[in-house]
Chain A
């Protein structure tokens, strides 16, 4: 990784609030693209009229966790009784039960994904859900291993509920969460036969980073987490499985438990910069921000007891956040791409899972299911021939509603129900095209370019599109649609 040089900004100044004189439309657009998923004209207006502080508060206005669905309760109950229901049955019957369970699990996960996308694409929730994605991609669990959707849902909401408390409170809640207990094998971590998986990742991937602990710290910390169990999706501490002997972690000896380990880890110098570094990766740049910039933020944050509300408000209003170098050069994740598209086109998420879920998988991001405990690395790794093709197809899909005869009855019903619930805009309609096509070519392009792209087009690119619009004056509607699709499929639109 090349060493990042941040021009004309001293570390001591990096986290001061942005100068009033630097707050302008460009800065506001940058804030909205990064704190959420797009620049909506209404949000831009508020930001410009009321300023940076109110714009951040406005963005987080809807900080509420997603509601559970009915089938979630049902599936939780099914998991709870699964063993009992299989008891004494021949293998053939047991397999049937397992298969039914798997089907139910899949559909419930699909439902969670769709609900989450809907929730996150509502303007008032976007910033909170992007913040939630940050924590999900740090304290990773995967649906590949944690199969029970009710547990995943519970985990998802726990992360969000604690995401504006202190880091210690959040990390302790994570260690007690049934999904995590299952995911990193705390379930198997017993006195006399410790399982190191959770302790290792807690230090390596959650709080400190590789190189900031010893193998011995891990071995001893694992003992402190013995007895952390989940029973039917509930946390249970089992004293007789807990090793209550002395443990030495980071040179400190005591009869530590899991909470103590979190506290001890947070006293390590590396804890101050680890989360800020990850935060910058999520919101600002694929390139790692040098430690000399992270250190002053980390030190102040530690003085505030690792308060996450303070961290967020300091970060989003800082001079470093708005530094010109970080603007328009962040590759959107698949979620950011999809939700941004919906917001940019003012569309509701289609209630047809078939048109959404495979596309997400093809772009490389299934909800709550990163490839492994490291989470998605992101950045340029999102982009390859295969994922680029999938991104393009997704855009095509939004401009081309499925033919009625290709829908099954469930889908037809889902569409009707959604329409009755007042959500009718799933695809770009002819009318939308007419609005665009009514403007002269130059203005038509300006309009789309400004709202959708984080950087202005190159002159040659603009010329070619305007030329196309002029060449096809006799058919303005399809020509405009073609230009709109091109812009949204373009390399330029992949950047925020």
Chain B
């Protein structure tokens, strides 16, 4: 067989130059694909070594904020949560009137070391209780009656801010079977999704011939999308495989898909992959019934994984480069339901983790002086959090991404 994997170009630029010179694998298809030519013409700035990275941790299903951050001095809390409420003596105290759920040991330790901040009662006006719509609102950073098909970090990528990876490098890496809307922009980007099964892949595949099937653009839009995706895959996969295999974590990560994903994120960061946006997800927060044990397990998994990740980064000297943030589509109803669970609600706290944080507790707590089945009213708009991350961490004018100015928060 004349074609072989061994002389495959390692970057997209080599790929192009090989084909343009008529050498290498594309020798007999002498063309430069239009979408490649265009992107090469708009050459992006070279990577900086100290680029700042954002890791988003999605808590899918709607995390119960009131049982995450416990307002244990508020008698309304126990009135609304007669069975599910976390008792003061069980909670892990943060301040005189706030504590964490007892399973948040990892989060508590991060907080005590100043490596984790909490933004209280984050939400948006006219809340929507549909999982999908509300998640879409969080992902697109749109008004609740406004529809956008691009994600906030996708628009960040559109803006081509300082530190954008070189052409062909993954601009965002997500762990899971889908590429989240969050990182999808109005322009096409090199987004890379990996699942935890990754690694054994494509050992025997015959890349040689497949290379000739990805270059020429077609009249069908889905066909171009497929070709584009496959070319990026061919280029990126062998590098990433090598990185995972080489990685030596300095801590033990929880043996859970989230822990494995966080460990994989750490391996790519420590390999100096120029990617600036990582997205991981933990599902199962839609606790309509039997919440007590399920929520406990979820929070423990989250805390342990975050803590392992942060420790690992620190020991590798990377902690100053990485900011990690959680989000969820909504919090849950203030009053518990009769099925030992909570229904879809509105605002909730979120966590920000990193070594360069400002205040450790930010924003106003929710007012719990509520009638039965009434919802919390948010006090911090989620776009204030995004604006702060964009302006003060990712070094990108938040107005270009969010369409307006939002009051920043003293978290970074």
Q: Footprint of B on A, CB under 8 Å?
A: 1, 185, 188, 190, 193, 195-197, 200, 204, 210, 215, 286, 328-331, 358, 361-362, 364, 371-374, 377, 379-381, 383-390, 392-393, 396, 400, 455, 458, 460-461, 463-465, 467-468, 471-472, 475, 478-479, 482-483, 485-486, 489-492, 494-495
Report the separation of the CA atoms of residues A1 and B132 in the bound assembly, to the nearest whole angstrom.
Answer: 16
Residues in B119-142 with C-beta less than 8 Å from chain A: 129-133
**B288 contacts A by Cβ under 8 Å:** yes
Query: Is B193 a contact of A196 with CB atoms below 8 Å?
Result: no
Query: Is B178 a contact of A384 with CB atoms below 8 Å?
Result: yes
Query: Is B2 a contact of A362 with CB atoms below 8 Å?
Result: no
User: Which 9 A-B residue pairs are closest in the complex by CB-CB distance?
Assistant: A491-B226, A384-B193, A464-B212, A364-B177, A188-B339, A193-B338, A486-B209, A385-B233, A389-B201
| Chain B residue with Cβ nearest A491 | B226
Q: Indicate which residue in A193, A479, A490 contacts B337 across the interface (CB closer than 8 Å).
A: A193
Majority secondary structure of chain A interface residues (helix, strand, loop or mixed): helix
Query: Is A396 a contact of B205 with CB atoms below 8 Å?
Result: yes
Question: B133: which A residues are within 8 A, CB to CB?
Answer: 210
Question: A386: which B residues are within 8 A, CB to CB?
Answer: 177, 193-195, 197-198, 201
Query: Is B1 a contact of A195 with CB atoms below 8 Å?
Result: no
Report the separation of the CA atoms of residues A475 and B178 in the bound assembly, to the nearest whole angstrom.
Answer: 40
Q: B4-38, CB under 8 A of A: which get 1 and which 0?
A: 00000000000000000000000011010000000
Report the separation of the CA atoms of residues A196 and B227 in the bound assembly, to the nearest whole angstrom.
Answer: 44
Residues in B198-219 with C-beta less than 8 Å from chain A: 198, 201-202, 204-206, 209-210, 212-216, 218
Report the separation of the CA atoms of residues A358 and B149 in the bound assembly, to the nearest whole angstrom.
Answer: 32
**B146 contacts A by Cβ under 8 Å:** no
Report 14 cross-chain contacts, Cβ distance below 8 Å, ordered by A residue.
A1-B149, A188-B288, A195-B337, A210-B130, A210-B132, A362-B197, A383-B225, A386-B193, A392-B202, A460-B29, A463-B29, A465-B212, A479-B1, A489-B205
Query: Is B29 a contact of A464 with CB atoms below 8 Å?
Result: yes
Question: B288: which A residues are within 8 A, CB to CB?
Answer: 185, 188, 195, 197
Q: A384-B193, A460-B216 are in contact. Are A478 and B1 (CB under 8 A)?
A: yes
Query: Is B216 a contact of A495 with CB atoms below 8 Å?
Result: no
| Chain A residue with Cβ nearest B231 | A491
Question: B381: which A residues are within 8 A, CB to CB?
Answer: none
Interface centre among B177, B178, B193 (most CB of A within 10 A): B177
Q: Indicate which residue in A329, A384, A396 contacts B192 across the interface (CB closer than 8 Å).
A: A384
**B230 contacts A by Cβ under 8 Å:** yes
Question: A372: which B residues are within 8 A, CB to CB?
Answer: 60, 131
**B360 contacts A by Cβ under 8 Å:** no
Q: How far is the CB of A443 from chain B (nearest CB, A)?
A: 19
Query: Is B229 a contact of A330 with CB atoms below 8 Å?
Result: no
Report the separation of the CA atoms of residues A195 and B225 in the bound assembly, to the nearest whole angstrom.
Answer: 42
| Chain A residue with Cβ nearest B174 | A384
Report the separation of the CA atoms of residues A232 and B323 in the bound assembly, to the nearest whole angstrom.
Answer: 49
**B407 contacts A by Cβ under 8 Å:** no
**B159 contacts A by Cβ under 8 Å:** no
